[in-house]
A and B are shown apart, each in its own frame.
Chain A
Amino acid sequence: MLKWIVEELKLPAPPFWLIGGLLILMCLPLVPLALTARARVSSSQKPRPHIFLDMDKQTKFKAQADSPVFADGRAMRPPVAGTLAWGEKADLPNPDLLAEEDHYFRGYRLEKNAATGGVDTVYYQGFPGRVSVDQAFLSRGQRQFNIYCSPCHGLGGLGDGPIHQRALKINAGSTGWVQPSDVTDAERASRPEGHMFNTITNGIRNMASYGAQISVEDRWAIVAYLRALQMSQDAPASLAGGIE
């Protein structure tokens, strides 16, 4: 073909550099293609480039962003100790407002002890008036227990969860690990509901507090589920309220 063109048109053979240059030009598009292919299959430690900034980064603070205004660098402020968030249940059917509040939010009340002159912590028995313990409430408790408590206490609450298994395997006892309690044993079963609630809110001995992770209502739901677990240990299944 080329030979034919050259002979017909009486053109000289194309110079060597022209052919070379053409070949290189034809290969050039492969470079961005190769770079693209590499970018698609590999990961990068650099954030995406913003070619047109548009309004991608605005001078506002979004949740969990950092801010130079506060000393600890958080734009999102932690709640002030002792305050309630908007939307926390505040309708109080109970005229005995403060006692009901203590029961619901703390699980205990402080009482002056005339004999010693000190202050006693008295845990409430039973559930506060604003929660109704029914099937839906128990199921909610089961769900939240499985998320937050079962890693350590196990699905059955016996203190044999996967984290404890791993801790045994890596001999974490030497670095301060303590076996989680069997929450169904007789001593745990004898605790008042308020005590169990406070255990979740503030932790106990070697167990950390879960008040920051779990809402007040869900903590009561977990307490209800703990009761169901305890009953299922030595009681007929019917007593456990049909929880599997």
Chain B
Amino acid sequence: MSNDQTPSDKFVFPRWANYLLPVIVVMAAGGGAVTPAIVGLAFSANTLNVGYAPVQPVPYSHALHVGELGLDCRYCHTTVEDASFAAIPPTQTCMNCHSGIRSDSSRLEAVFKSNETGEPVQWVKVHDLPDYVYFNHSAHVNKGVSCVSCHGRVDKMAVVQQVKPLSMGWCLDCHRAPEKHLRPLDKVTDLAWEPTPEAGETLENARLRIGREQKKKLLINDEAYMTSCSTCHR
């Protein structure tokens, strides 16, 4: 330290430091507003949950089997109408056809191996609710809620991908106003179904009209029941 510096010089901030005060104020105010927004966006179920498309042990394609060949969902997911869960088809279901079709294909190797050994094919679960939530497929499918409302256009997916957040808010959005999603029971597995509007009616209104009819016909529970905690947390 040189001796010709006076003590007062030592502790004086450089003059540009005066800029820091407004900068800090603006930053604090802006950051306070922006940070929660960013955190909210980044950690919302729409960001974290949507888009999960794991690699499966067999390159099975719904776009081919459902979209092109026209198989009904229930041919494979046999339990959707009767049980809480949707059965992933056992190897035997694939072998119904693949004992004769593409029976020399290397892409089906895991299926043929499973058929010989009896060990199941290790499909990776895509849609996965937390274990404290009670979900039931038959409650929805038998009340005119189509697979497409919750799984998207599976019939166009070569690889199954989660397209809905499956968050509590998302479940409740529908439980508060199910009529937007209800359709005739024989159209539940017809993912491309659109209502036919009557003269002068928009598509949206036709959907609502049919939804309201179904809601009355199928005796859908009221909002209080549908949004009560014990409906989904039991």
Task: Tell yes or no: A136 within 8 A of B by CB.
Answer: no
Q: Are B103 and A49 in contact (CB under 8 A)?
A: no
**Can you list, as one digit per residue, whether each of B82-116 has a CB less than 8 Å from chain A (1) or not (0)?**
01110110101101110111111000000000000
Report A-chain residues with C-beta under 8 Å of the C-beta of B46.
Answer: 40
Report A-chain residues with C-beta under 8 Å of the C-beta of B103.
Answer: 175-176
- Mostly, the B contact residues are loop
Interface residues of B in 93-151 (CB under 8 A from A): 93, 95-97, 99-104, 118-120, 122, 125, 128, 130-132
Q: Are A36 and B42 in contact (CB under 8 A)?
A: yes
A161 to B222, CA, bound (A): 43
Task: Tell yes or no: A234 within 8 A of B by CB.
Answer: no
Task: Tell yes or no: A24 within 8 A of B by CB.
Answer: no
Task: Tell yes or no: A163 within 8 A of B by CB.
Answer: yes
A48 to B83, CA, bound (A): 26
Report B-chain residues with C-beta under 8 Å of the C-beta of A40.
Answer: 46-47, 50-51
Q: Are A47 and B93 in contact (CB under 8 A)?
A: no
**Can you list, as one digit per residue, whether each of A62-93 has a CB less than 8 Å from chain B (1) or not (0)?**
11101000001110000000000000000000
Report A-chain residues with C-beta under 8 Å of the C-beta of B87.
Answer: 64
Residues of A in contact with B, size category: 35 or more
A-B contact count (CB 8 A): 138
A167-B130 contact, Cβ under 8 Å, with A43-B51, A43-B52, A43-B53: no
Q: Are A14 and B19 in contact (CB under 8 A)?
A: yes
A212-B101 contact, Cβ under 8 Å, with A12-B15, A29-B34: no
Report B-chain residues with C-beta under 8 Å of the C-beta of A148.
Answer: 75
Q: A66-B122, A175-B101 given. 6 additional CB < 8 A pairs? A: A18-B16, A29-B34, A43-B51, A54-B130, A55-B130, A166-B68
| Top 3 closest pairs, chain A to chain B, by CB | A177-B100, A63-B85, A56-B130
